[in-house]
Amino acid sequence: MINTELCDMLGIKYPLIQAGMGPYSTNRLAAAAANAGALGIISTSGFSYLRRPNVEKDPGLSDLARTLTDGKGGTWYEQMKRAFYRVKDATRDAGGIFGINTMVAAEMSGLAREVIRAVIEVRDEDPEMKERLRVIVTSAGDPLPWTDIIKPSGLKWLHVVPSVRHATRSERAGVDVIIASGQEGGGHVAWEPVHTIVLLPAIVAAVDTPVVGAGGFGSGASLAAALALGAVGVQMGTRFLTTKESDFPEIHKDYIVRGSERDTQVARGFVGPLRWVKNEAAIELAQLTVSKAPGLYLGQPDDMSTVAPEVMAKENEGFDALFRSNGPKALMPAGEVAGIIDDIPSVGELVEKIMKEAEEIVRGLPASFIRD
């Protein structure tokens, strides 16, 4: 069986991380991943929608809210904490290990602070939670300002980076694991299009902190490749999204299964570039990006105070269409790995298939290529 430093550090069976993806919940998905021996991650970005007034009266947002909550009411903060407890309860029999993710970009820093506070509170309230909710994954921002908040919590801290410079800064911040995320990934990607095959070994060579690969992973062969490049595991988003237990809508999964490796599109998003399923909405957003925010394609970052409001309005329109299952008008995050996804298995089936394939490849490599 393949066992790496990541497994020993986090107490997981397999060196696989299920990425926390929004805006939908990943509550059911996180539980299924944890029960299958991977690290399950509860997405928290969707809870930002529950902070909107009258969310229960909006037909689209009310559907989203049902994936995030248990229907018992309360503030968004109380509902988020109850989501953590539901995952704990769903993973009790298997003793699954899980965590949460949060974006720490300036635009999301207020929500991130509340998320971290909630995680610390539930771990202090419940010894079993402290034993199994072990991880926080941060992304889309500078980790250094968060050191004094996260390090004393006792959580294992993973931070997602798109470059060597960001990796060395993460090491300075004291993160426990660096996630090197290449341009192939779905959802948020970097302003500079550096791809995983270059990024991952470059970061491994630059830091002493363990490194996980992300962006383009979805098979046993890609896990074996990541290990060969020096990683201690992989994080997968799109591949886990397209499973039976995934909390995401069927229309999103179907688009991914039907797509090829060329059927994704990078365009401007909430906190920077995002990779979407290439459909009518994504193409329109890309065209708007070219005319209103061309710096995205030139590696010139902007922010919420400078990006054209028409771009943000188009993104909100696309998410509203997703909540209403309007496929052509919906904006659906997905990575290039969509091109190798042609089924919707259970999480357990997926994990076992990936690990079996990776082990067969790793065991077979010396006999295949090394000649005395």
pLDDT tens, residue by residue, 17-58: 999 887 788 899 999 999 999 999 999 877 766 666 565 555
Give me 360's structure tokens.
């067969």
Claim to verify: residue 70 and residue 50 sit in the same structural domain: yes
Q: What pLDDT was estimated at residue 156?
A: 97
Gap between the Cα atoms of 274 and 190, Å rounded: 8
287 has a pLDDT exceeding 90: yes
Claim to verify: residue 147 and residue 268 sit in the same structural domain: no
Q: What pLDDT was estimated at residue 165?
A: 95
Claim to verify: residue 67 and residue 168 sit in the same structural domain: yes
Claim to verify: residue 281 and residue 302 sit in the same structural domain: yes
Claim to verify: residue 221 and residue 349 sit in the same structural domain: yes
- Residues 122-169 have pLDDT tens digits of 999 999 999 999 999 998 889 989 999 999 999 999 999 999 999 999
Gap between the Cα atoms of 217 and 230, Å rounded: 15
How many structural domains comprise the chain?
2
Residue 132 CB coordination number (10 Å):
22
Gap between the Cα atoms of 99 and 39, Å rounded: 7
Helix axes 76-90, 27-35, angle to 10 degrees: 20
Q: What pLDDT was estimated at residue 164?
A: 96
336 found inside a domain: no
Q: What pLDDT was estimated at residue 222?
A: 97
Q: What pLDDT was estimated at residue 368?
A: 65
User: pTM score, two decimals?
Assistant: 0.92
244 found inside a domain: yes
Residue 346 CB coordination number (10 Å):
13
**Residue 127's CATH number:** 3.20.20.70
Claim to verify: residue 159 and residue 275 sit in the same structural domain: no
Q: What pLDDT was estimated at residue 109?
A: 76
- Beta bridge partners, 158, equal 137, 177
Strand ranges (E), 19-73: 40-43
Gap between the Cα atoms of 97 and 306, Å rounded: 40
Express as a percent the part of the chain with pLDDT over 70: 93
User: What's 333's DSSP letter?
Assistant: B
219 has a pLDDT exceeding 90: yes
Domain range spanning residue 73?
5-248+343-366
Claim to verify: residue 222 and residue 286 sit in the same structural domain: no
372 found inside a domain: no
Claim to verify: residue 127 and residue 243 sit in the same structural domain: yes
